[in-house]
Amino acid sequence: MLFNSFEFWIFFAVVVIGFYSLPYRAGKVLLLAASYFFYMWWNPRFIALILASTVADYFLGILLETAADKTRKPLLIVSLVVNLGFLGFFKYYNFFVSSLAALLGLPADSLALNIILPVGISFYTFGSLSYTIDVYRRKTTAIRNFIDYAFFIAFFPHLIAGPILRARQFLPQIQQWRAPSAATLNRGIALILTGLIKKMVFADRFAIVSDAYFNNIAAHRGWLAAWSGALAFAMQLYFDFSGYTDIARGCAKVFGFEFPINFERPYLAANVVQFWQRWHITLSSWVRDYLFLPLTRGTRSRIKVYFAIMLTMLLLGLWHGARWNFVIWGVYFGIFVVLYRVFQQKLTGSTFGRALEARAFHPLKVMITFLLLIAAAAFFRPRNLHDIGVVWSAYFDWQHAAGSSVLTTGTIALFFVSFVLAVLEERRGYLRRLALAPAYVQVPAFACVFLVLELFSVTEKIPFIYFQF
């Protein structure tokens, strides 16, 4: 049941009416049941998996809070084994055994199993782990109400593709729920409409172009075709994922809940570190708090810090998918994050370093960072290492014919429109102000949004990219 499908909005309307027709406690149970129904719409069998993870961590959280100190770490290990065991088997088993088979000279599928990847498993697993780890660290208390905990894990707007929720941020909202104000509802509706435009007008238009290139790379030779195809995918990836997040956040607001911001105009970042502070924020902050900081706690060795950065980025890449291209994608970003840290330490306080911080250099830094991000599409989008090599060689093959751009006039126009809108939002925050605007401003604005969706949206239902993770 896709956010950009008619059946989802019928489902959403029915659930909203039902929720507000009942007292909050009963409405909460209705929302939990609706969330399980939403998940089972894809494949009913895998509801057992999310229930098993939920039940295990609910009881483990209570035990972690009440157990003696000597047994708390083994209990945390049980939680890690259960959650990472499910994730590892369903998402990574075939990847590792096929790699092992290749090393042993066996057929790639000789050890593989016919495994279906449960949608959303990477997202709700990290949410559940954050709860048990925080209880272990005594940063949050164990919850005794099973419905509340199950609701935190399964609430349908974030269940499939995030944002990744933290228990200590979301559980208090469940326990102290208040009906949303008119301004909150307006903001929720604005986010939903913004997300639909991002997905159906921007992402899906860029998807047509990027698919045309990456599905038949051999037919599009030359560096211009490679860079334009990569640009199309980079734009598709951002609008697709941030569009999903906007819809999820908007739906949550309609029910009176607040999800964390997941994107802050990442393509306006002035360096790769700032990019990861703006892109998929709930994931990057998760790996920072639960992986990078524990690895570097108490160390003064720069080598150990750089190693921790590389390991964190490698695992962050692997989180996105069980293919070697995602491993390389993570290493690629790890290298540039380390290089940025090295140059930052060398240049801090120097004349050249102060000159680079001048406002005049900011557009140049944004442009260089954006080029690095476009180049990274050659690791993310192709399905095999051969295609990665072809695209990267085309990037820098300036001695032969440039080829032709795969971008259409429409997608070029969308690129510049999106750039202008991003700059305006960065400087003026016009979308946030729209939610607080009077009705005579909001009604025409929403009418224009519906008109844009009707006239310019792609009619084919293209799945959200991050559903596969």
Task: List the structure tokens of 128.
Answer: 């559940």
- Token pair, residue 224, equals 């211009």
Active site residue 320: yes
Query: Are the beta carbons of 230 and 249 closer than 8 angstroms?
Result: no
pLDDT at 69: 87
* Nearest to 121, CA basis, from 467, 379, 354, 353: 467
CA distance 181 to 435: 11
Inform me whether the pLDDT recorded for 433 exceeds 80: no
Label residue 135 by pLDDT band (50, 70, 90): very high
Q: What is the mean pLDDT of residues 219-235?
A: 93
> How does DSSP classify residue 218?
G
For residue range 355-402, what is the model confidence (pLDDT) as tens digits?
A: 777 777 888 999 999 999 999 999 999 988 999 999 999 999 887 777
Looking at residue 456, its amino acid is F
Contacts of 84 (CB under 8 A, 6+ apart): 125, 129
Q: Which two tokens stand for residue 441?
A: 């401003």
Q: Looking at the predicted structure, is the pLDDT value of residue 295 above 70?
A: yes
Does pLDDT of 251 surpass 90?
Answer: yes
pLDDT digits (tens, 9 = 90+) for 334-353: 999 999 999 888 877 777 77
Helical residues (DSSP H) of 41-105, grouped into ranges: 47-66, 69-87, 93-103
Residue of 321 and 469 predicted with greater confidence: 321
Distance CA 50, CA 56 (A): 10
> What pLDDT, on the 0 to 100 scale, is given for residue 442?
67
Kindly report which listed range (105-109, 373-377, 437-441) carries the lowest average pLDDT score. 437-441
DSSP result, 230-244 = HHHHHHHHHHHHHHH
Residue 23, Cβ neighbours under 10 Å: how many? 7
Residue 451 has pLDDT above 80, yes or no: no
pLDDT, the chain, mean: 89
Say how far apart CA 445 and CA 314 lie, in whole Å: 43
First to last CA, the chain: 16
Average pLDDT over residues 205-231: 92
Q: How confident is the model at residue 17 (pLDDT cuts 50, 70, 90)?
A: very high
Share of the chain residues as helix, strand and coil, in percent rounded to the nearest 5: 75, 0, 25
Q: Which two tokens stand for residue 467?
A: 């559903």
Whether the Cβ atoms of residue 86 and residue 121 lie closer than 8 Å to each other? yes
Q: How far is CA 114 from CA 84, 109, 451, in A?
A: 20, 10, 44
Q: Please name which of 79, 159, 95, 70 lies closest in space to residue 318, comparing C-alpha atoms.
A: 95
**Local structure of 157: helix, strand or coil:** helix
CB-CB neighbours of 180 under 10 Å? 18
Which of 158, 220, 280, 320 is flagged as catalytic?
Answer: 320
- Which pLDDT score is estimated for 455? 63
State yes or no: pLDDT of 354 exceeds 80. no
pLDDT digits (tens, 9 = 90+) for 275-291: 999 999 999 999 999 99
- Region 205-210: mean pLDDT is 93
Check residue 450 and give its pLDDT: 64
For 159, the token pair is 């269940």
pLDDT at 62: 96
The answer to whether residue 134 scores a pLDDT higher than 90 is: yes
